A and B are shown apart, each in its own frame.
Chain A
């Protein structure tokens, strides 16, 4: 029970009522490696073209130690990258996270290209989140920029993984980054998901931590979101709350609490208080705190707040999608209640999984 997302959720509610913004994480994302084997054109972080600039990932022993420290904050973990399947010890790390460290909810965000080489990871996962931006392999190859046939291979891997969901007890989530260019294909991704019993999630492309201008002004984008809402209300497996969908439609200000879904970089540093601020490297945030040097999550957070100050209250500085869903669910308990009442709780929709990644 200790540090479960549900417990953290309720303690966070009390903290918010008291005006305390040092919230406990609902889920922690650990980038096991920043290396990637694709070159997605919209990716502002990684990609094969940047691999040489990226640091080496941690050794397995250090990664285990890191997981132990994360576990002092929550029992819900997302492994991501880069491409996490490029981490040399991914199977061992997942097994360790599940059995030794005791994470109860484990998700992995992957591009899916290397899935066939790592069948053992499926047994350890609750959710396998795979980026899928188009149901048309030829068109998608242009986005991936990793050679002809890459997209077709990923499609086959996704279908294969989806067919193993019941056997291995996990859910496949296809995450679609909607760009002005892929907007017309996003609907086909949605239909692909429905056909193969895959959960659909999406986020609009952001530029400079702000929604892409051409999406903000496109009627087709609004039509697409309304279509997703219709499907969700009809019971389709959409990994997005109605509040999130409404936010992605109107892009209104919302109170962002990035510490609900903090991000750990491959060397163990905490991206504080959130990715956009950390990346500026200015006085408001950064990467000074390494979890490997801390005894616990709370100790690391104390160091970070001492160095950079407390995290912002009700931040509305940007639209970093990773933080939208958990922030909305945490700050709008009635919206969460509506989700849980209206849409039967399932393995893809619960407090800790409202983080599309």
Chain B
């Protein structure tokens, strides 16, 4: 154990995980140094991007750019508690409705779905049945879909029998394609569309472990787990900038354009070498917290002599690239499309787009634009497949515009401006790998800890909440070694009573079957 005076911590990566770890250390009196490779912005996947600017109605309009993450989900308890404790939690914009658009050639159907899932009168895990109270949902399906529904229900119930993250069960080789085996094409399309918004890959790429973890955390065990809010502004304005400001006020330091190139293990602690605005710098630290995305973490550990050998077999969860489109129209979409004025939703079928967000119903700056001009603005994402994302910007943008006009034909001829931006392959594809291949918070190297949404940890949370939880745990590992008080973690809500009962039954059945198969 080190004394507090000997504890100087360097955190590599200023995303949610790194900033969370830094804040928790700074609150305990340490002065962490956070190194961020991005030359302009902290925030990782919450960072901003180049602004969009255009002329309309004799005025110049400018909008913040960003990565495309908008939602804070109700199970994100540790993240919200941390922000509130520092008085930087924004007043969030509650989600009202999400819609499912399914396209088959010229035929496009849609149904409102989100409010049913979180507001169903039927307890979890049967709350999905509430969808059948919507005539438009019936209209989305055919007879074969109804016959296939029992398989879907069985699949969902089976997902209650195992928690891949908490039980550390990798389910090797089992993908969403097997999970959806023998389902009808439309039901597969619905699940694929839903899944791609969280685990952006094709069915045979999505690990079943990650998908089941997603189902359990966001919807399966509680109706209100699907309740979420939007950030009122872009991620940088709403969360990242206040976190950085708080960190600095607590004595922490953030350096941008600082790309770490090498880690060197010393008899006590580490030497970190980085390029900062073109010049090589280095410093010693008693502890390192590696808080980059998975591809960057893997690359750094393999490139550093002290870690290369043990890092060689690592197979960290992969990151996926995404493309983000924004379009501005001089009129709003029609409200009476059976989607209850949904401000967001998913696409399936032959749509190239994967989801949409009507920004003029969410973000302050877009609401003001809408009030001033009567216009509307939509953001939409494409998560794949790779051959689609490989298309040139102009082609991809044209595809996106065509898709939006298919969904909202009344917007034909009303497009004012459109943009496309691309995100690097950093969006985590959640998975549970083998212990030798998948780093946990405590790594094989002393005084080096990891955090991020890709980190192996027996916690059910995903994405921002997982980044936050692992950030707190990594900070706690440092605090414990420095003889300082660790931070308590907030538990995630228990399942609803019926879901808990079924969960216990399904788990007992699974374990009994396993014992029988193994002849125990």
Which residues in A have some Cβ–Cβ distance to B below 8 Å?
A: 19, 207-211, 213, 216-217, 250-255, 276-277, 279-280, 282-284, 309, 312-318
Contact = CB atoms under 8 A, between A and B. Distances in A.
Nearest to A308: B367
B389 interface: no
Contact of B91 (A250, A280, A309, A314): A280
**5 cross-chain pairs, A with B, having the tightest CB-CB distances, nearest first:** A210-B84, A283-B367, A208-B84, A253-B74, A253-B224
Contacts of B364: 282-284
B367 A207 contact: no
A309 B97 CA distance: 15
A95 B367 CA distance: 44
B229 interface: yes
A211 B119 CA distance: 24
A19 B340 contact: yes
Contacts of B90: 280
Contacts of A253: 74, 224, 227
A317 B93 contact: yes
A314 B89 CA distance: 20
A280 B233 CA distance: 12
A146 to B, nearest CB: 24
B485 interface: no
B87 interface: yes
Contacts of B89: 208-210
Given A209-B89, A210-B89, A253-B74, A317 B94 contact: yes
B81 A213 contact: yes
Contacts of B368: 283
Contacts of A254: 224
B177 interface: no
Contacts of B224: 252-254, 316
Contact of A316 (B74, B81, B340, B371): B74
A252 B77 CA distance: 9
7 contacts: A209-B84, A210-B80, A213-B81, A253-B227, A254-B224, A284-B91, A317-B94
B129 to A, nearest CB: 17
Contact of B94 (A19, A208, A314): A314
B83 interface: yes
A251 B367 CA distance: 31
A216 B493 contact: no
A67 to B, nearest CB: 30
Contacts, number: 82
A256 B87 CA distance: 21
Main secondary structure of the interface of A (DSSP, over half): loop
B457 to A, nearest CB: 19
A276 B493 CA distance: 24
Interface residues of B, number: 34
Contact of A250 (B86, B115, B371, B493): B493
A213 B84 contact: yes
Contact of B84 (A207, A284, A312, A314): A207
A323 to B, nearest CB: 13
Contacts of A277: 91
Contacts of B411: none
B96 A313 contact: yes
Given A208-B84, A314-B227, A252 B94 contact: no
B232 A208 contact: no
B118 interface: yes
Contacts of B158: none
B401 interface: no
A312 B94 contact: yes
Interface in B196-234: 224, 227, 229, 232
A217 B84 contact: no
Contacts of A19: 115, 340
Contacts of B97: 313
Nearest to A274: B91
A250 to B, nearest CB: 7
Given A216-B490, A282-B91, A316-B74, 20 more contacts: A207-B84, A207-B85, A207-B87, A208-B84, A208-B85, A209-B89, A211-B84, A213-B84, A216-B81, A251-B77, A253-B227, A280-B232, A284-B93, A284-B367, A312-B93, A313-B96, A314-B94, A314-B115, A316-B224, A317-B229
B87 A208 contact: yes
B92 interface: yes
Contacts of B229: 316-317
B105 interface: no
B488 interface: yes
A313 B112 CA distance: 14
A279 B81 CA distance: 20
Contacts of A252: 224, 493
Contacts of A211: 81, 84
B399 interface: no
Contacts of A276: 91
Contacts of A282: 91, 232, 364
Given A209-B84, A255-B119, A283-B364, A318 B91 contact: yes
